[in-house]
Structure 1
Amino acid sequence: MSRNGDFPDGNHYDPSGILIEFPRRVTASIDPRMREIVADLPEPVRSMARYHLRWADDQGAPLSGGERILRRYGSLMMLCVSRERSAWDRAVNVAAAGNLMMASQFIHDDIIDNDQERYGKPTVWARFGVPAAIMLGDALTASAYAALADEPPQVARELIRLMSATIQHISAAQTQEMANKGRTDITLQESMAVVEAKAGRPAQFACAAGVAGSGGTPSQVAAAAELGLHLGTAVQLHDDLNELWPTKDPASETDLRDLRERKTIPAVAYALQISGRHQEELSRYLQKTVSPGTTELLRVRALLDKIGAHEWLGEQLTGCVDAALTHIPEVTPVPLDQQEIRQYITDWLTPQ
């Protein structure tokens, strides 16, 4: 299957639209399986799951376009899967399970971050309450494990082990990230470790699980895991870069949420290790407890820029992308597949 189109007699679509077309094709492939799995949930968690996945509103009325909530992770699940139809079809159940696992993590993440909206609609906890949201997250995780149990025994055991490790790493990273807020003694290595666990590990599972579910060899699965680890880390750094220094309007505040919440993200941890008056001012800001205004947030971002965090973050992103790309030949020997994987990654993550 072309990552940019359907299964049109082996033909490939214009790769210029791969960032749009590939996620759409992935969604069309795995959404039906996800709906089957969710349909087996008992009420009221089934209706809550449909709401969270944007398949229905809070009254149960069907919605369109709900796939956006998991489009990016679903694409990672299928990114390294062979374009052959049989391999693609074999990976669909695993990808659906992975998406449901991440759906549960999004629910818990919204609670932790006190997010009341996701993509313009109230989050599950904001609509149904925190206890109900926690229970829905647990139910979706259980559904993901049950779906993986449908795989051949050896594959199922490996994927369940990988998913368990992924959830453990995400949980540890979320806990550590909360503990790091406002601290000025967090090293760059510690900050990057949180990113790797929170973003790199889920992408590692996604890429490896897709290949394993599609019938890939152990060496291909291992290579996909390495690719995913670097890719997931790159995605988080890319998101940090775009939040701190948006390319459309570099002078804007954007959300600057991580700065507002005084999180010791890698750009901040890097700046803290550079001695000088800018570092001292940044340290004082992190130790404050009063909610910052726009002027203060923009001043803190300017401090990061003066210290060199903008340039450093771009260099780290490029390094992670390059590291991910080196594993593509080990994932698949097919030149066209290699080209499509490489293009999807570079079109998405190359700094502007």
Structure 2
Amino acid sequence: MTVTTLSTVDADGDAVRSALFDAVGRLDHAIRPVVAYHLGWCDEHGRTVTADSGKSVRSRLAMLAARAAGGDERRAVPGAVAVELVHNFSLVHDDLMDRDATRRHRPTVWAVWGDAVAVLAGDAMLSLAHEVLLESGSPQAVPAALLVGRATQDLIRGQAADVDFERRNDVRLAECVDMAAGKTAALLSASVAVGAVLAEAPPVTVSALQTYGSEIGLAFQLVDDLLGIWGDPEVTGKPVFSDLRSRKKSLPVTWSLESGRPAGRALAQWLAQSGDPAESELRAAADMVETAGGRRWARAESGRRVRAAQRALDSAAIDPRYRRELHRLADFIVERSA
């Protein structure tokens, strides 16, 4: 099998990175180095480094969508920058809420500067995202900003549900899927849509791309949930069993709870407990999810979602060359290890 890499869809990476760098440079001097640190551009002392800046999936989607729609992809650069800023706003706040002290093999923003600075850094990126779009000069700037704003509201709704699930022992799979549709899929869907809108694609093309983005967003979350239990810390940059450590009601966990199998019932009893779990407990809980079938289901469901995304693309009148690139990006999502 040929392993898909993001290098196949990064033709505009330099343009987006340059625009993102310029945008961050507009931030206040007190918060700019914090954002630059989170993005992997410097260390906590402001010294330039080359660190992991993430996969930039959302900006790549925006640029590919513009090209696939037959428009001028340069018009999509502000949209690509905006969705990356919104995504990173959510990561900084997510790390704070989950008390995750490590991301991309480095201490998280709150772990270095404290809670208040992490909140402010996230807020700065969110507001900057809308500035970049609205000041772009594009005739589609307002519709694009509305798309990103609505996706952000969905993202916040999904994140709020995720937090609520931590206090509940009766979370259903349908609720968990709806949470993922907001927390992850909404911004991925908006990413492809904003690229197409800025390229002035017809509504039918935008709609097909939105469906594609929503489906790969759910696939992305399913794989993320698998990595949150079984991912290699050396690759993911997070501790082993990180989601189980916080007793998170992720998709494979919730499916296992509804499976009706003895391992699912044992998992429910373990999740209802309190206190910091020992490593042996976490390993046993991961085994419960696997025995109940949650791991196998999540892997199969992520593949099903990718196929649905690719069918949506095949129904759209887009350039076949870039349809193939979007197919490859969907494949990467289910093949990734971090």
**Normalised TM-score (structure 2):** 0.89
8 Å CA contact retained: 1:332, 1:338? no
Matched, 1:60 2:43: no
Name which of structure 1's ranges 50-59 and 161-170 shifts more when overlaid on structure 2: 50-59
Matched, 1:35 2:21: yes
Match for 2:19: what amino acid?
Answer: R
Structure 1 match to 2:212: 227
Deviation at 1:343, TM superposition (A): 2.3
Deviation at 1:295, TM superposition (A): 1.9
Structure 2 match to 1:47: 33
Name which of structure 1's ranges 304-313 and 259-268 shifts more when overlaid on structure 2: 304-313
Match for 2:42: what amino acid?
Answer: A
Structure 2 match to 1:100: 85
8 Å CA contact retained: 2:101, 2:108? yes
Deviation at 1:79, TM superposition (A): 3.3
166, 169, 173: which is aligned to 1:188? 173
Query: Following the alignment from structure 1 to structure 2, what is the Cα–Cα distance between the partners of residues 180 and 326?
Result: 32
Deviation at 1:302, TM superposition (A): 1.9
Structure 1 segment 74-153 matched on structure 2, within 5 A? 74-82=59-67, 87-152=72-137
Query: Following the alignment from structure 1 to structure 2, what is the Cα–Cα distance between the partners of residues 298 and 93?
Result: 44
Query: Following the alignment from structure 1 to structure 2, what is the Cα–Cα distance between the partners of residues 125 and 245?
Result: 25
8 Å CA contact retained: 1:70, 1:103? no
What is the percent sequence identity of the aligned residues? Answer: 23
Matched, 1:303 2:288: yes
Query: Following the alignment from structure 1 to structure 2, what is the Cα–Cα distance between the partners of residues 327 and 277?
Result: 38
Report the number of matched residues: 333
Change (3 A) 1:333 1:299: same
Change (3 A) 1:121 1:303: closer
Structure 1 match to 2:304: 319
Deviation at 1:276, TM superposition (A): 4.4
Change (3 A) 1:138 1:311: same
8 Å CA contact retained: 1:55, 1:64? yes
Query: Following the alignment from structure 2 to structure 1, what is the Cα–Cα distance between the partners of residues 97 and 27?
Result: 25
Query: Following the alignment from structure 1 to structure 2, what is the Cα–Cα distance between the partners of residues 351 and 111?
Result: 25
Larger Rg belongs to = 1
Change (3 A) 1:147 1:283: same
Match for 1:121: what amino acid?
Answer: R
Structure 2 match to 1:291: 276
Query: Following the alignment from structure 2 to structure 1, what is the Cα–Cα distance between the partners of residues 37 and 289?
Result: 39
Matched, 1:208 2:188: no
Change (3 A) 1:182 1:259: farther
**Deviation sequence 1:140-185 (CA, Å, 0-9, x none):** 1111101110245652221221111111111121121111126331
**Deviation sequence 1:314-342 (CA, Å, 0-9, x none):** 22112111110011134443222222221
Match for 1:160: what amino acid?
Answer: A
135, 138, 141: which is aligned to 1:156? 141
Match for 1:56: what amino acid?
Answer: C
**Normalised TM-score (structure 1):** 0.86
Structure 2 match to 1:13: none
* Gap regions ≥5 residues in structure 1: 1-15
Change (3 A) 1:216 1:84: closer
Match for 1:115: what amino acid?
Answer: D
Query: Following the alignment from structure 2 to structure 1, what is the Cα–Cα distance between the partners of residues 69 and 152?
Result: 30
SS at match of 2:56: helix
Match for 1:168: what amino acid?
Answer: Q
Match for 1:30: what amino acid?
Answer: V
